Amino acid sequence: MDNKYSPGDKVRILQRNQPGHVRTPIYVRGKTGVIERIVGSFPNPELLAYGNSGLPYKMLYRVNFKQSELWPDYDGPSSDTLEIEIYEHWMAPA
Amino acid sequence: MSNHHDHDHGPTHTHDGKPIQEDELPSIEAQILETSVRELLIEKGVVSGEDIRRAIEAMDTRGESLGAKIVVRAWTDPEYKDRLLNSSDDAIREFGINMSPMELCVVENTDEVHNMVVCTLCSCYPRPILGIPPAWYKRRDYRARAVREPRAVLQEFGTELPDGKQVRVHDSNADLRYLVLPERPAGTEDWTADQLEALVTRDSMIGVSDVRRPGEADA
Amino acid sequence: MRGPQDYGGLPAGPVDPVKHEHVPTHWEKTVDALMMLIFDQRRQLARVDESRRMQEALGEDYHKFPYYERWLQAVSWLMLEKSVFTQEELDAKQAEVRARLEAERDG
């Protein structure tokens, strides 16, 4: 399975409402981060949650965000970051 | 254990004002449901009482002492540390640990970076290593605030970090499980593995505290 | 639409590492074991994401249920959904267990 993004790429997490079980928390939606690493391809949890096989697999990445991007009022040092795993269908090039 | 109600301290309430009740004895209804589900599963041949007993025993073998062995091996064996950071699943297999279907991600604390792990959506945790997560890890307080004000949460654990040290929060939300490799305290160069293992706490492997020598003051 | 489980960044109280510490009880470990057994390689009766879906389906009750009562509810609903047992069987069993536990308590 090919990865659409590579480490260092800037991505924006989609601001999307989606019913059902999803693993993209609201606080990262619409935010811009940088691909830290490619984790690999995994069954899609949005389908696994309904007893489905999870196919087709989805590429999963670790995305690094500046805390100040996530929280405009973040009061720690500007170097503080947060990393989270995001499936490819939840991101777009930024 | 007493029927301990956790309602009298702090604003640990949901947004509709209901107290969060996480650590209580189960209600009679929950006891009835648990007994019923368990007995039906046994009657249907899905599980046996022996399976349940063995699963509990297996769980009891996980915990901070297992994590401490891994950490100390990494502290004392550079080749192992390299493997633990870069081929984590292989490295822990030597300790009889299998993370499948999850994968392990080990994050290293250094002079410059402090890592801290949370699962905002549920309670993802490296259970094959550390066992059942602590109660605070599963509560709203930690899950809500660790991502937004990690330094304030660290202070609540007595962990003060200089501004010059980067805080890197890991929200464990999908297929990786995170283990923090804490910094080895200075002045322990000639300690034995047993002595070092006794220093490594569960909380230091979640990243809410550092490993300290006995008597060492807060940073 | 925010699910009840999506706590990240919401207002919340202080973390009290002393009071919010808790050694799992045997009852909690039993519920934990039931969940792990229905997930395991041999049985594969459910996936962790299905359990999460069931817990999220608690809605506002998600906040009120103690952690392992959420797990227990998820196990029960999953076993019903997968027809491992029926609602009628569960109802009958619960009535029997209720009578038994009440007799034990009063005895």
Is ipTM beyond 0.95? yes
At the topology level, CATH places domain A10-93 in SH3 type barrels. (2.30.30)
Size (chain C), residues = 107
Determine the Cα–Cα distance for residues B202 and B189; give it in Å rounded to an integer.
22
pLDDT confidence of B42, banded at 50, 70, 90? very high
pLDDT value of residue B163: 87
Mean pLDDT, residues B132-147: 97
Give yes or no for a contact between C80 and B31, defined as CB atoms under 8 angstroms apart.
no
pLDDT value of residue B21: 45
Tokens of C22: 């808790």
Determine the Cα–Cα distance for residues B142 and B118; give it in Å rounded to an integer.
8
pLDDT digits (tens, 9 = 90+) for B166-191: 999 999 999 999 999 999 999 999 99
Contact flag C82-A51 (C-beta cutoff 8 Å): yes
**Which residues in B lie closer than 8 A to residue A85 (C-beta atoms)?**
171-176
Answer whether residue B107 shows pLDDT above 70: yes
In SS3 terms, chain C reads as: CCCCCCCCCCCCCCCCCCCCCCCCCHHHHHHHHHHHHHHCCCCCCCCHHHHHHHHHCCCCHHHHCCHHHHHHHHHHHHHHHCCCCCHHHHHHHHHHHHHHHHHHHHC
| CA B69 to each of CA A92, B58, B194: distance values in angstroms, whole numbers, following the listed order | 41, 18, 9
For chain A, give the DSSP string.
---S--TT-EEEE------S--SS-GGGTT-EEEEEEEEEEE--HHHHTTT---PSPEEEEEEEEEHHHH-TT--S-TT-EEEEEEEGGGEEE-
Residue for token pair 């007994």: B35
Domain C26-106 maps to which CATH number in 1.10.472.20, 3.90.550.10, 1.20.58.100, 1.10.3720.10?
Answer: 1.10.472.20
**Which residues in C lie closer than 8 A to residue A52 (C-beta atoms)?**
none
Answer whether residue B11 shows pLDDT above 80: no
Answer whether residue B15 shows pLDDT above 80: no
pLDDT digits (tens, 9 = 90+) for C92-103: 999 999 999 989
pLDDT value of residue B218: 54
* CA atoms in the 13 A half-sphere facing the CB of B177: 22
- Across the interface, of C6, C49, C82, the residue whose CB is closest to A49 is C49
Answer whether residue B3 shows pLDDT above 70: no
Determine the Cα–Cα distance for residues A89 and A11; give it in Å rounded to an integer.
12
Mutation target vs B (from A47, A83, A87; most B CBs, 10 A cutoff): A83
pLDDT digits (tens, 9 = 90+) for B53-65: 999 999 999 999 9
**Which parts of chain C sit beneath pLDDT 70?**
none
CB within 8 A of B92, min separation 6: which ones? B70, B84, B99, B104, B128, B129
Question: Comparing B143 with B219, which gets the higher pLDDT?
Answer: B143
Identify the CA nearest to B149 among candidates C59, C24, C12: C12
Contact flag C17-B203 (C-beta cutoff 8 Å): yes
**Which parts of chain A sit beneath pLDDT 70?**
none
Contact flag C66-B26 (C-beta cutoff 8 Å): yes
- Across the interface, of A19, A25, A50, the residue whose CB is closest to C8 is A25
Residue A75 in contact with partner chain C when CB distance is under 8 A: no
Residue A48 in contact with partner chain C when CB distance is under 8 A: yes
8-37 of A, contacting B, C-beta below 8 A: 23-25, 27
Is the domain covering B63-206 a CATH 3.90.330.10 domain?
Answer: yes
Determine the Cα–Cα distance for residues B143 and B76; give it in Å rounded to an integer.
33
pLDDT digits (tens, 9 = 90+) for B84-94: 999 999 999 99
Domain ranges across chain C = 26-106
pLDDT confidence of B24, banded at 50, 70, 90? low
Domain ranges across chain B = 28-59, 63-206
Name residue B84's beta-bridge partners.
Answer: none
Give yes or no for a contact between A36 and A62, defined as CB atoms under 8 angstroms apart.
yes
Element (H, E) at B171: strand B166-171
Beta-carbon count within 10 A of B175 CB: 21
Distance from CA of C12 to the nearest CA of B (A): 5
**Which residues in C lie closer than 8 A to residue B120 (C-beta atoms)?**
6-9
Domain ranges across chain A = 10-93
Classify residue B19 by its DSSP letter.
B
Name residue A59's beta-bridge partners.
Answer: A41
pLDDT value of residue C105: 83
pLDDT value of residue B217: 60
Could you list the active site residues of B?
A: 119, 122-124
Mean pLDDT, rounded, of chain B: 90
Contact flag B164-A77 (C-beta cutoff 8 Å): yes
B-chain residue closest to C51, CA distance: B122
